[in-house]
A and B are shown apart, each in its own frame.
Chain A
Amino acid sequence: MADSIQSLKDVVLDFDIDRAEEVARNAIDSGTDPLLAAAALTDAIRQVGDAFGKGDLFLPDLVCASEVLKKAFPIVNDAIEKKGATQESLGKVVIGTVFGDIHSIGKGMVSTLLYAAGFKVIDLGINVKGEDFLKAVKDENANVLAMSALLTTTAMEQKKVIEGLKEAGIRDRVKVVVGGSPINQEFADSIGADGYGSTAPEGVKVVKRLLGIKD
């Protein structure tokens, strides 16, 4: 089992997208505890995230490591569900790029780094309608809603979603974090967001601060 755990870590640290499913399946088939398998993957992506934060690794490394996880984790998660166990996380974050905006890179970075930090991330993708954000926040009982906008013309969508949370009576249940090129602290304050991050690593710090989690 120790070999399987190390293989899971290595497949992430080697950014080996092509072997991700095979390594995960071998680990589960050979009887590795799926919770330990999940912990190995999470530990490895955390190492990648930390190295990215220090400038030792770069964005393609981070994204390729994230791709490894996308392939390996469903296999591990299936095994966890079959076992009837649950995985611990620091909290649930619903994330997406707002309606009218199809920019995905910044949002993807935040998503990966949140995941690496130990959060459960529900990534709704790009061009996300307000009602879809609201539904995900309700259905997932999310702790944080993170929204990205890269255009001055779509930044106001973030405000619309916050207004929607208020109308739905769930604004107090979720912390709202915003980011993107045209966004700044002043704008975040003006639309009633709880936090703003100018970079992806800062976005993760803001989420942790809002949830009272120490770095």
Chain B
Amino acid sequence: MRKGFTRKFEPLRVLSDSQVETIHKRTLEVLAEVGCKFESVRALELLKKNGCRIDLEQRLAYFPPDLVESSIRMCPSSFLVKSRDPKDNLLIGGNTLYFMSSLGARLSDIETGMVRVPTMEENNQAIFISDALDSIDLYSGYTPYFEIEGVEPVMLCSTSLAMRIRNSTKITRGTQPTDTFIWETLIAQAAGQELIGNMEAAAPLSYPEDAINAAYTYVEAGFPVYIAAGSVMGGTAPVTVAGSTISNNAELLAAIVFIQCIRPGTGIIANDCVFPMNMESGDLFFCSLGSSLHQMAFNQIWHDLYRIPTNNTGSAFPNSKKADYQSAYEKTHVAMASALSGANMIVFHGGVTAELSYNPVLAIIDDDIAMTIGKTIEGFEVSEDTMAVDIIKDVGTVPGTFLNKTHTREWWKKEYFLPKSADRLSYPEWLNSGHKGAIDKARERMEHILATHKVKPLSSDTDRELDKILNDARKYYRDKGLL
């Protein structure tokens, strides 16, 4: 099982207990009075059977507070997700933090900011590199690229999943557009692996048919489900942190009621994917203060009150087009706030240019940042040994030193973290070793990974089965006129 990072101190709280309670009560008010749209008669009938008031014509379900609260209680606070290799199983929830790889449409040149469509070889290479990075515990859907040369858009999600499973044993999330969940479920099952399902709202307060059908398929397969609303503060949600927290909570709690009606006890990962709108352009304002505050409030409410594992997407994409100072500070401040406030998962590695691109070299640099954040929440030990009072007494005053003590030799590696790509040379050493920066060192690490890393291969039978499923998918989409 993957260890991830264990938070060893209380999470940071940005809300008082009464503010948490008020936000929850007002969320229940929204669900009871405004309701949530479900673009599926089947889903509406199920919700009706379980106590919701339904307006079939408007496709609306109104949620009684008791039903919402009992559904929250049905969600496990932690659950296991099984990989095809048990070393990569995940135990999601509690005080554990995992990092999820980010994604991009295209391959970015991190120094020039120029993007292009990656080849399949580049796609597979990026997965292989992510498999080698210790701080990546799982993959989001579409990872790493959601455009691959020669792959038709409608075949992208299923093809991408097959490639992730072939080139890595780490857990991955499924997707929901255009019936792709059918093929992704079959692919995961054929590989003997569990998938994290997916149900994403169309904010405000609506679930499209694809999301609902995806939830049915993933839940019936016995997979946990990652729920997300993807609201835009000022666009599809109120512009304020408190208001967008309520609308986002309402969207996610509606999904929880629905999923628990399909199968009580299904594991849920509630994703906070709420971004302010960039009011200069209408684009999303990724890695912003608004996201950071929203996620901190979200983690507190979902961790303390609902006891449902959380994921945070706010640090997935910096606004910078390059791997530069802006990229690093934007991602780090948001991810650090997520980790300190109790997120169970953070989407982080490799994304750049506001969701448009990805680069494995950046993922390698991000590995160092994620390790630093993870080590931060693990805190430090306070014991007789670490307080080292005996050694302080032994060393005494100048010219005493701690460098020649066994205590120093044994403890420095336990409490320090040495980033693999960061430049830590003295200036003369740096001059004499080719003026290398973090990007150069990350490239060297990438070459080393490509030369030495190994991934447990699929059996040839399983590999053939994945090809067969992809061919069946192609036929399905061709028959539907989508290919």
B232–A105 CB distance below 8 A: yes
A182 and B280 CA atoms in complex are apart in Å by 20
The verdict on B188 contacting chain A, using a C-beta distance below 8 Å, is no
* A155–B235 CB distance below 8 A: no
B277 beta carbon closer than 8 Å to chain A? yes
Nearest CB in chain A: distance from B114 CB, A: 12
When the two chains form their complex, are residues A153 and B177 in contact, meaning their CB atoms are under 8 A apart?
Answer: yes
Which interface class (under 10, 10 to 19, 20 to 34, 35 or more) fits B?
Answer: 20 to 34
Determine the chain A residues whose CB is within 8 A of the CB of B235 once the complex forms: 105
Residues of B within 8 A of A156 (CB): 153
- Residues of A participating in the B interface, judged by any CB pair closer than 8 Å: 55, 58-60, 102, 105-106, 109, 151-153, 155-156, 181-182, 199-200
- Summarize B's interface: helix, strand, loop or mixed: loop
Across the interface, do A155 and B282 meet the contact criterion of CB distance under 8 Å?
A: no
**Contact: A151 with B282, CB < 8 Å?**
no
Q: Which residue of A lies closest to B208 (CB)?
A: A102
A199 in contact with B279 (CB, 8 Å): no
Asked if A59 meets B147 with Cβ closer than 8 Å, knowing A102-B208, A151-B177, the reply is no
Q: Return 19 A-B CB contacts under 8 Å, by A number.
A: A59-B234, A59-B279, A60-B239, A102-B202, A102-B208, A105-B232, A105-B235, A106-B282, A109-B282, A152-B105, A152-B147, A152-B153, A152-B156, A153-B178, A155-B153, A156-B153, A181-B355, A200-B281, A200-B282
Contact of B105 among A55, A102, A153, A182 (CB under 8 A): A182
Q: Which of B154, B177, B282 contacts A59 (CB 8 A)?
A: B282
- Chain B, 419-462, contact with A by CB distance < 8 Å: what is the 0/1 string? 00000000000000000000000000000000000000000000
Cα distance, A187 to B301, chains bound together (Å) = 43
CB distance from A121 to the nearest CB of B (A): 17
Which of A60, A102, A106, A181 has a CB less than 8 Å from the CB of B279? A60
Contact A199 B281 (CB under 8 A): yes
A142 to chain B, nearest CB (A): 24
Q: How far is the CB of B236 from chain A (nearest CB, A)?
A: 8
Please tell me if the beta carbons of B281 and A59 are within 8 angstroms of each other in the complex: yes
Determine the distance from Cα of A145 to Cα of B421 in the docked complex, in whole angstroms: 50
Smallest Cβ distance from A156 to chain B, in angstroms? 6
CB-CB < 8 A to A200: which residues of B? Answer: 281-282
Residues of A within 8 A of B154 (CB): 153
B234 contacts which of A60, A102, A151, A155 (Cβ < 8 Å)? A60
B156 / chain A contacts, CB cutoff of 8 Å: 152
Chain B interface (Cβ < 8 Å from any Cβ of A): 105, 146-147, 153-154, 156, 177-178, 202, 208, 232, 234-235, 239, 277, 279-282, 355
Nearest residue (CB) in B for A155 is B153
Q: Nearest chain B CB to A159's CB is how many angstroms away?
A: 11
Distance of A143 from chain B, by nearest CB (Å): 25
Contacts of A55 in B (CB 8 A): 280
- A-B pairs, top 7 by smallest CB distance, nearest first, are A58-B279, A59-B279, A153-B177, A152-B153, A105-B282, A109-B282, A153-B178
B280 touches A59 (CB 8 A): yes
Residues of A within 8 A of B279 (CB): 58-60
Which B residue's beta carbon lies closest to that of A186?
A: B117
Residues in B neighbouring A155, C-beta threshold 8 A:
153
Cα–Cα, bound, A199→B153 (Å): 23
Chain B's nearest CB lies how many Å from the CB of A127?
A: 10
Could you tell me the distance between the alpha carbons of A199 and B278 in the complex, rounded to whole angstroms?
13
Residue of A nearest to B154 (CB): A153
Chain A residue numbers with a CB within 8 Å of B153 are 152-153, 155-156
